[in-house]
Chains A and B, each alone.
Chain A
Amino acid sequence: LAKTTQPISMDSYEGQEVNITCSHNNIATNDYITWYQQFPSQGPRFIIQGYKTKVTNEVASLFIPADRKSSTLSLPRVSLSDTAVYYCLVGISSNTGKLIFGQGTTLQVKP
């Protein structure tokens, strides 16, 4: 399963767009890229998943370049409630569904 690298922390202000980039240089051909969000005292929550190009849902967009060695989670117009830890995961095993969490990016949204 591919190792991921993402910033430890980021700060933003309400109403701004936030982009969190994750690098995964040794991503395998059939690996998916998945992002989870975790609030304090809660379990992680699925945000978005993609394989290539761009994926958008009601809460975020995921941009994946052609070489797939990195990906960017984009949160439009963040609010204080988006303050959380964001985890980038690569290579959900097609054999076990196993998730490998890294340290994540702590996003602090300020008023």
Chain B
Amino acid sequence: EAGVAQSPRYKIIEKRQSVAFWCNPISGHATLYWYQQILGQGPKLLIQFQNNGVVDDSQLPKDRFSAERLKGVDSTLKIQPAKLEDSAVYLCASSLGGWTESYNEQFFGPGTRLTVL
């Protein structure tokens, strides 16, 4: 079974530039998550989709971050404009269960390492 795919794996940009990350979840997984992981910290949830609807985006900096899930499958996360503090690894995860499941194993992709100069 193919895992969660992400691209690119690495990205270096200058502050105030824009960047986009792509995620392809495991086939059939209804729920998709984007996390931000700053070096030395645990992942922080940015946004959660259930199919193509947003379930939780309470920690997404909406003035600069946006995300969409096309047709309930692939997803893109965009930052515009980027700041120095956005340097982090951006992880995408997916899970089979719906948002009412009490057990909901998440499968993570390898992440995209973003460096903002």
Summarize A's interface: helix, strand, loop or mixed.
loop
Contact of A63 with B by CB under 8 A: no
CB distance from A43 to the nearest CB of B (A): 3
A99 beta carbon closer than 8 Å to chain B: yes
Residue in B closest to A95 when the chains form the complex, CB atoms: B99
Chain B: residues with Cβ within 8 Å of the partner, total of 30
Cα distance, A33 to B26, chains bound together (Å): 24
Chain B contact residues, majority secondary structure: loop
Cα A42 to Cα B100 in complex, Å, equals 27
Residue on B nearest A45 in the bound complex, by CB? B108
Is the Cβ of A96 less than 8 Å from the Cβ of B106?
no
| Most chain B CB neighbours (cut-off 10 Å) among A32, A96, A100, A101 | A96
Bound Cα distance from A2 to B109, whole angstroms:
26
Q: Are A32 and B111 in contact (CB under 8 A)?
A: no
Q: Chain B residues in contact with chain A, CB under 8 A?
A: 4, 31, 33, 40-45, 48, 55-56, 91, 93, 95, 97, 99-111, 113
Q: Which chain A residues have a beta carbon within 8 Å of chain B's beta carbons?
A: 30, 32, 41-46, 49, 87, 92, 94-104
